[in-house]
A = this chain, B = another copy of it.
Amino acid sequence: MIFNYTINQNDTEIPWLYDITTEDMTWVITSSFMIFTMQTGFGMLESGCVSVKNEVNIMMKNVVDIVLGGLTYWIFGFALSFGRSPLNNPFISFGDFCIDPSVDDPMKGAIYTAFLFQMSFATTATTIVSGAMAERCNFKAYCLFSLMNTLVYCVPAGWIWGSQGFLKQLGAVDIAGSGPVHLIGGVSAFASALMLGPRLGRYDNGIAPLPLGSPVNAVMGLFVLWWGWLAFNSGSTYGLSGPKSQYAARAAVMTMISSFGGGTTSLMYSLIRLKGKIEVIDIINGVLGSLVAVTAGCFLYEGWAALIVGAIGALIACASMPLIDMMGVDDPVGATSVHGLGGVWGVIAVGFFAQNPVPLDTTAGRSGLFEGGGWYLLGIQSLSCVCLIVWGFGVTIIILWIINKIVTIRMELHMELIGADLTEHFVKHGHMGVTRAISAFKPCLDTTEIDHIAAVGLNPAHDAKVDAIQNMTHKRKPKLSKILRNVTSRGNFGINVARKLFPSKKLERRISIKERSARRSVTSHLGERIPTIHLNNTKPGVDVAWID
């Protein structure tokens, strides 16, 4: 994302952010659209990783992330990273709050394009945390956190990518955000998991992972993220005009090669660790770890370097998951390992393997240690890591500490055991231990409301109908055509409206005749003409009838 192709840049000129040709715009906007699809991936991955009784809750939190995270990014996030203002300083910028150029602004196309692209990055960054807080975070507290989380992301994004940012000034290189997006997201995830404490009983039987809720959905999420990542990295050439076009495809190719390295490594890791078997979460997080790792220098690497960067990224992600658990920090999807530690490696890897991508000045002419560029780049990349970690950890802790004063961030005990899907969203899963948990709490909790909720996927109204049919068919064996639906009861809009507008006996009589004829027409559809209709139940609303 860091392109200073126009070298003679000063305050009166167009900032690099808005220096986009029409050709670049196609590329950047299309990439943004594809980056947004990563939200689908995060949702499926996270909901596939948690226990079923919380799967809807985590999807809702993902929606909240986009809605509230996106809203605050528009209101103040973009402003603090890239705002144009005389108050700007190396640490933060102030300007362009609620950015919205007028129709007279000749640069409005570029500004909207830049904002769209940055917003797609911001929502990705803020979503990373949701997985680490899964299954035990209060929903309302999470909403507050989503509002504030933008702050965690946007300030360090300004350091690395804003024209004024001190890390950018020093020469830090992070093309598509191993640092501001993933490292920050992962560190923030770690801090959140730490603050929330582990899920109830998480470590009672050691640190072995809990069963996934839906491994197929989780792998599907990996796939969606994988292809979205191509646009994430490749779109970060920030255009295709001139020499940028030389590197867009390279970014994509290196992203894929890195994931091949990561995938192979995690396969080996899992095969060795489990004596010939494969754990799904190892593969998912291995591949993701390699994608995170290659992000910072995606088009600066040669093939072999990308392969190594990915392999090490995957190894870090896989091997650190049990370590995080040993610390007693419960991160259900492994966001700390994948995004946090994978991100650290990604930022530092630039210092080792980056080539100088002539004629672009992405690296200000510098190269990594192994490419003969000396220690400077490695140093500044390491410094970036330290700054980002300190910021990400500190600010997340502070925000959550404040929120905890307003709404307890931890879910209540009974909600955690019953599951947030039922207690927050009225979604009752069958065969998932939910009913048992409810009955355990019955003596001290009013469960009348949730007792009456039908399980997902069922049609409770049909049960009564099936009972009625069973009664009918049990006694005698009628022809199928003799069981008919009372089509008219509540089914006819006109009649219902008429009934409400003109409640009279005369109308009722007319309707009654109409209903009978409707019933007869249904019967004739069923192939017979029947003389009398005996409704086995004359209460209104009962709509299974029996014809003699």
Q: Contact between A302 and B100 (Cβ–Cβ < 8 Å)? A: yes
Which residues of A in the span 67-111 have a Cβ within 8 Å of any Cβ on B?
67-68, 70-71, 74, 98-100, 102-104, 108-109
In this assembly, does A514 line the interface, its C-beta being within 8 Å of a C-beta of chain B?
A: no
Q: Contact between B425 and A215 (Cβ–Cβ < 8 Å)? A: yes
Alpha-carbon distance A240/B25, docked complex (angstroms): 8
Alpha-carbon distance A433/B260, docked complex (angstroms): 36
Q: Contact between B436 and A60 (Cβ–Cβ < 8 Å)? A: no
Which chain B residues lie closer than 8 Å to A417 at the CB level? 462, 465-466, 469
In this assembly, does A535 line the interface, its C-beta being within 8 Å of a C-beta of chain B?
A: no
Copies of the chain in the assembly: 3
Alpha-carbon distance A459/B263, docked complex (angstroms): 28
Q: Contact between B455 and A437 (Cβ–Cβ < 8 Å)? A: no
Alpha-carbon distance A429/B53, docked complex (angstroms): 16
Q: Contact between B249 and A109 (Cβ–Cβ < 8 Å)? A: yes
Q: Contact between B328 and A444 (Cβ–Cβ < 8 Å)? A: no
Q: How far is the CB of A513 from chain B (nearest CB, A)?
A: 19
Q: How far is the CB of A486 from chain B (nearest CB, A)?
A: 10
Alpha-carbon distance A480/B241, docked complex (angstroms): 64
> Which of A9-17, A151-159, A161-169, A202-210 lies at the interface?
A202-210
Q: Contact between A426 and B279 (Cβ–Cβ < 8 Å)? A: yes
| Contact flag A216-B249 (CB < 8 Å), given A358-B103, A410-B487, A465-B417 | no
Q: How far is the CB of A170 from chain B (nearest CB, A)?
A: 24
Q: Contact between B490 and A328 (Cβ–Cβ < 8 Å)? A: yes
Which chain B residues lie closer than 8 Å to A385 at the CB level? none
In this assembly, does A51 line the interface, its C-beta being within 8 Å of a C-beta of chain B?
A: yes
Which chain B residues lie closer than 8 Å to A68 at the CB level? 260, 263-264
Which chain B residues lie closer than 8 Å to A259 at the CB level? 66-67, 70
> Which of A171-179, A376-384, A502-510, A540-548 lies at the interface?
A540-548
Which chain B residues lie closer than 8 Å to A517 at the CB level? none
> Which of the residues B456, B480, B497 comes within 8 Å of A441, measured between beta carbons?
B480
In this assembly, does A1 line the interface, its C-beta being within 8 Å of a C-beta of chain B?
A: no
> Which of the residues B25, B29, B264, B478 comes within 8 Å of A444, measured between beta carbons?
B478
Per-residue CB proximity of A119-163 to B under 8 Å, as 1/0?
100000000000000010001100100000000000000000000
> Which of the residues B413, B440, B453 comes within 8 Å of A211, measured between beta carbons?
B453
Q: How far is the CB of A289 from chain B (nearest CB, A)?
A: 13
Q: Contact between A211 and B458 (Cβ–Cβ < 8 Å)? A: yes
> Which of the residues B98, B250, B328, B487 comes within 8 Å of A303, measured between beta carbons?
B98
Which residues of A in the span 23-39 have a Cβ within 8 Å of any Cβ on B?
23, 25-27, 29-30, 32-34, 36-37, 39
Alpha-carbon distance A496/B543, docked complex (angstroms): 56
Per-residue CB proximity of A511-536 to B under 8 Å, as 1/0?
00000000000000110000000000
Which chain B residues lie closer than 8 Å to A245 at the CB level? 22, 25, 109
Closest to A355 in B: B103
Q: How far is the CB of A494 from chain B (nearest CB, A)?
A: 9
> Which of A181-189, A224-232, A342-350 lies at the interface?
A224-232
Q: Contact between B327 and A246 (Cβ–Cβ < 8 Å)? A: no
